[in-house]
Amino acid sequence: MSLIGKQRIVIGMYDGFGMDYFNASPLPAFRSMARDGFFKPVSAVFPTVTNANNASICCGAWPKDHGITGNSYFNERTGEADYMESADFIRIPTVIQRAAERGVKSALLTCKVKTIHLLGRGAAIAVAAEAPPPEFVALYGKPADIYSREINYWLWRVAADILRRRRDIGLLYVHTTDYPMHMWAPAAEESKEHMETLDGLLAEARAGAPDAAFLLTADHGMNYKRRCWDLFKACRESGAEVRFALSAEKDRYVKHHRTFGGAAWVWLKSPADEERVAHALLDLKGIEAVLPRRAAAEKFGLMAERIGELAVFGDAETVFGELETPMEELEPSYRSHGSLHESRIPLIIYNSSVPLPPAEAFSANLDLTRHIVQ
Ligand SMILES: [Zn+2]
């Protein structure tokens, strides 16, 4: 049974909101929704990067079905990495498109322009806080810089106001930025202020739309990282040269984490190299697993042709990216995601007018929309 058209729906995708952030602050609005509705800690999709998870939540499906397996992919034709941030890469309709097919208008509110390109098709309103339309600036003021926590406050203030004033909008998809999580651990004062402010804005949104269902989750958590490997250079150094290595996290927003992430794909020069390269990778400190393409696709619900010939899994302290040297020790303040260690996130459904399936049906963030927003 679908909520679309039955009641207004607010999908809150809180970027980087791991369970440790949920547990570190009182968050009375989140907690009362969890208590009175449905709450379960669930898993993010692997790799724990934004686009793969945002597409999964927005489609209610695994990457094997929608096709977004990371922020970037390797274009085998050009031999270059391309950003996977166009709606053309998504092979099934998003909840926004499904709503439009039924005559229900949606608003996509996000901090980053890339999310509009990826998920904005079919939305009646599509606003990126980093480049807002003039009429939004006139109404709500100029948002803070994209590399700030205040930009998330602007975004949720807009969401709460649209809920109050635009009753014709039947679905809101609100996607914050994880910059604050990259900058501050859950116990930091700045982080608590960020989460408490977002909690207050959630309470305001609920007060302005008592009829609406709120569906809340995240794309991944965040951890401190100690080291980064450039797998192309590291493999070359150990005599097991590869064709290409790519951090699944690589995107345009380089400032806060240089787009290093805890998962990588490797393409081989020849299929015969597979075992030798896998061994060379497993010899590197901080790599906890290497899987061949088919096995990785099967295990994590990925689209095989859009991942590498080898999937490389970092431990909680290890990330991958492009470096001047094979390995770099990172600053102690460095935080990022992408690995299996950033998988635990909250899932909350509040005020749904359709009955929910049993709790066992919810194991991943994409289950937020899979069962009741089809
Ligand atoms: Zn993210």
Per-residue pLDDT of the chain (374 residues; tens, 9 = 90+): 799 999 999 999 999 999 999 999 999 999 999 999 999 999 999 999 999 999 999 999 999 999 999 988 888 888 888 888 889 999 999 999 999 999 999 999 999 999 999 999 999 999 999 999 999 999 999 999 999 999 999 999 999 999 999 999 999 999 999 999 999 999 999 999 999 999 999 999 999 999 999 999 999 999 999 999 999 999 999 999 999 999 988 776 655 567 899 999 999 999 999 999 999 999 999 999 999 999 999 999 999 999 999 999 999 999 999 999 999 999 999 999 999 999 999 999 999 999 999 999 999 999 999 998 88
d(CA 193, ligand 1 centre) in Å: 19
d(CA 318, ligand 1 centre) in Å: 17
**For residue 302, what is the enclosing H or E element?**
none
d(CA 236, ligand 1 centre) in Å: 31
Note the pLDDT of residue 289. Answer: 98
Cβ atoms < 10 Å from Cβ of 57: 30
Query: Do 323 and 303 sit in the same domain of this protein?
Result: yes
CB 120 within 8 A of CB 126: yes
Query: Do 229 and 217 sit in the same domain of this protein?
Result: no
Query: Do 188 and 316 sit in the same domain of this protein?
Result: no
d(CA 278, ligand 1 centre) in Å: 28
Is 1 a domain residue? Answer: no
Is 129 a domain residue? Answer: yes
Q: Which domain holds residue 155?
A: 9-221+343-370
CATH of the domain at 92: 3.40.720.10
Q: How many domains does the chain have?
A: 2
d(CA 213, ligand 1 centre) in Å: 23
**For residue 289, what is the enclosing H or E element?**
strand 287-292
Query: Do 245 and 322 sit in the same domain of this protein?
Result: yes
d(CA 52, ligand 1 centre) in Å: 9
d(CA 177, ligand 1 centre) in Å: 7
Is 232 a domain residue? Answer: yes
pTM (predicted TM-score): 0.96
Note the pLDDT of residue 258. Answer: 78
d(CA 35, ligand 1 centre) in Å: 26
**Residue type at position 148:** S
d(CA 273, ligand 1 centre) in Å: 33
Residue 316 exposed, middle or buried by CB count within 10 Å (0-12, 13-18, 19+):
middle
d(CA 16, ligand 1 centre) in Å: 5
**For residue 95, what is the enclosing H or E element?**
helix 95-101
Cβ atoms < 10 Å from Cβ of 342: 29
d(CA 96, ligand 1 centre) in Å: 20
pLDDT digits (tens, 9 = 90+) for 231-261: 999 999 999 999 999 998 877 665 556 789 9
d(CA 176, ligand 1 centre) in Å: 9
Query: Do 217 and 118 sit in the same domain of this protein?
Result: yes
d(CA 47, ligand 1 centre) in Å: 11
User: Which residues are found with C-beta within 5 Å of the ion, ligand 1?
Assistant: 15, 50, 178, 219
Query: Do 255 and 154 sit in the same domain of this protein?
Result: no
Note the pLDDT of residue 73. Answer: 85
d(CA 201, ligand 1 centre) in Å: 20
Query: Do 198 and 317 sit in the same domain of this protein?
Result: no
Note the pLDDT of residue 253. Answer: 62
